[in-house]
Amino acid sequence: MEEQNYFLYVVNTNHPDGLFVAGDYGVGLTPMSPGIEDCRYGTMYVVPAKYIKRYRPGAETIKRAVLEFYLAR
């Protein structure tokens, strides 16, 4: 089974149907490799699961950890 990594998706462009607006964000797990990926409406930041040491972290914990990971570089 592939290791799951954590992601933060930051919306940069409003959706034409108003489903989301710039500044919205989402977090979760993904099988994608760590890195930064440009997407249709925003940017996805993926960090290694081992970077987030808490068991079942909340959304704010994931967001803060991902931002710290990329801002520290």
Q: What is the pLDDT along the chain (73 residues), one digit of tens a residue?
A: 568 999 999 999 999 999 999 999 999 999 999 999 999 999 999 999 998 887 889 999 999 999 999 998 7
Give the global pTM. Answer: 0.88
Cα separations (Å) of 10 from 34, 40, 53, 54, 55?
A: 16, 11, 22, 22, 23
Contacts of residue 13, defined as CB under 8 A and 6 or more positions apart, other chains included, come to 22, 40, 41, 42
